[in-house]
Amino acid sequence: MLELLVDEPIFIGFKASRALRHLLESLGNADKKYVSSEDSGFLRLCSIGEDLYVGKVVHEALATDRVDDIRRNILSILRKLGPAVPLPTTLRIFACRAVNDTYTPTVDDLTLPPSAPALSVMRATR
pLDDT digits (tens, 9 = 90+) for 53-98: 999 999 888 889 999 999 999 999 999 999 999 999 899 999 887 6
Predicted TM-score (pTM) of this structure: 0.75
Rounded (10°) CA dihedral 22, 102, 97, 33: -40
Do residues 13 and 55 touch, judged by C-beta distance below 8 A?
yes
Reduced to 3 states, what is the DSSP secondary structure of residue 20?
A: helix
Residue extents of the structural domains in the chain: 10-124
Cβ neighbours for 16, distance < 8 A, ≥ 6 positions apart = 24, 51, 52, 53, 54
**Angstrom distance (rounded) from CA 91 to CA 16:** 11
Q: Between the CA of residue 20 and those of 63, 88, 89, what are the distances in Å?
A: 29, 11, 14
Do residues 99 and 19 touch, judged by C-beta distance below 8 A?
no
- Output the pLDDT for position 60: 86
